[in-house]
Structure 1
Amino acid sequence: AVDLEVQALSFSVHHGVDFDEHQLEQAALKQIRLDINDDPRLNKMLLAPMQGWMHCFQHFAEDEIIQTQVYQQVLEPLNLRFCSAIQILYDHKVCIMLSFLTSTERGVLSCSELQPIYELLPILKQKIQQYRHHFEYSTMTLLGSQLIQKMNQPIAIINLNGDILELNTEAKQLLENSKLIQIKQRRFVFNDSSQQQFELNLIELERQHKRHHDLSYAERSKIMMVDDHLFLTLDLLSPEKTHKIFGLRPVLLATFSGLKHKPKYQREICTQLFMFTPVEHKICEQLLEGKTTKEIALSHDIQADTVKKHLQAIFKKTKTHRQSELIQLLMQFL
């Protein structure tokens, strides 16, 4: 399904052959992140209402298909080549379609093979019309969309393929004045290293969501440094209905921190709450500065393993389990 107003894609995969689940998961993650204009078959289905089936072998030359990213990255690794698709619903707002993919060995589906599906279309159309709101993008249905507009901290709501769904006023002001972050085609654009980390975080959060529905806070959150003065925290917002209703995916709360000055470690607060030793205080301060375990060890002229032992003591006192979770906690006191 594609929301035609905002070009938002959603899909579900069902298979009748023995696919490797990990391979299928990787294919789905790649599919959702590809440019929607990459696939000529999808573009044809989105142009206008169509009657009957669209068979790719009838409408496109083989070169038009095999040179696309969706074929090379998604379909070919799964040994899928041919597509037969039909529109279930098409209007000014949304296009919802059903497609069948087959391998080269299996060959194209014949009209007689597709006839039973065609006979079911009236029932399918009725059900899809009833639940069409699950395929339509609306900021009013997003968890926290109204709340972020009331907050003074720069916050965005994005989906798991990085599309920006909503920005509050503070975030818009940040992006207007920032040389570190730009928006292109409704997505954040960072420098190369930050961009790679950002995309890896998105993939990891979606993988966690698909595998485990009951995630701890640490598993639902990723934190990254854009530079010495700017942190970005990604929190997975996963309402219960995302697991029960087809077409819905969770969204992320993207929160920017430490914008106006270098984050200042709150030693007194941490002393009162956690009773850190002087060395533990210094390690926490350096973590907030973005230093690695190795860099911290060099600054103290100690072994990296010693720093890790201190970190284990800090984790125990703060009831955290990893550095990203600890930094997230410390940033709450900035």
Structure 2
Amino acid sequence: MDRYSQHYNRLVELIYQIPLSLNGWKNFGDHLNQILDSSLVHLLAMDFKRQALSYSYAVSIMPEALIASTEVHYLHYPVEADPRWTSFLAPERKGWYQCHHHLSDDYVAHSDLFQHVFLPIQVRYTSAHELILDEKICVLWGISTSLERQPLTEDELAFLDRLLVHLKRVVTIQRHIFEFSSKAIMGYALIDKLAQPIMLLNLTGEVSHCNLAMQQLLSQMKTIKIEKNYLKLPEPYQEKFSESLKYIEFSHKYQQLLPEQKLENGCIKIINQENDILYIFVSALLSEQEIRAFGIRPQVMLTFYSSKQSVTIDFHLLYAAFNLTPAESRITLDLLDGLAPKQIAQKNLVQVDTIRKHIRSIYKKTATNRQADLVKLLLNMPRYY
């Protein structure tokens, strides 16, 4: 008996609980991560008809807020930026796909996607297997490990093969949840996991979705409201917001605003009669992946921040306010905690020169020059610029 077989019965039991519990997939993923010392267990679906990611559920050893923010950031990249999809969907592939057979260490070292998105959440190696794969949809099961952990071994994959038949049964029964649906949009599910208040609108200003934190903020603040499904701000802020939407629509129509560009004046600062400040960060969802993940039309994501009513600074807020990558956001929060570059490097198991390179980028994006200035900025977060 191999060292994993003792866990087989418990894992099978957890698999068949997935359809019966809201936490079913999380319970299974947490248990598998612990057994394999893996970083991430991922259930991901692609709808071939729409060529869109239609479902994503990740269970990680990292904080859920970081994973959700990272997934939103991942959608910013075009599909072709992730070469793992091409290899995984190749007709000649059989059995497990393992990314290290296709992506060299040199490729990873020069990949913006790996350096800024995957490696910061301890994802270097990925092993994936289809659970459903036909002309309409692909549902894959992926297990990712860190650089230190190294890829899954043949013995580990053989053990996972024994679980595949059970997972395929469960996923087949629930096939409808993996297909693209106006009632179950992947992007909505992702922002529902984020702690910051977030609102999605189409380019006409019509509200399409609010996460729970946004719903709570609307109930607490009289400054903003939704009327006939349209966001209403006090003047002159409403006019400025309307102009921003027109600019985004015009720029997208004539392809003058690239997905990776940061909007100029992408922050609206509202001061009410009590001198309370509400910041609204405006992000255009213009990449093909973002459009498909959040519906079928370009949308705008509004991230709200009020020091009196919002939660503390997190990964998504740093991305919305300063366009920091997940890696930069994680280092920024460590700097806010008072850690020195060498301590951050030791904590994240990377070279100190790598941390210093990220810090230089952080200073540039936040218009600061040293750690003390950055901390002061964050303690008064956010600055209107």
| TM-score between the two structures when normalised by the length of structure 2 | 0.41
| TM-score between the two structures when normalised by the length of structure 1 | 0.47
User: Rg bigger for which structure?
Assistant: 1
Q: Which has the higher contact order (CA 8 A, sep 6+)?
A: 2
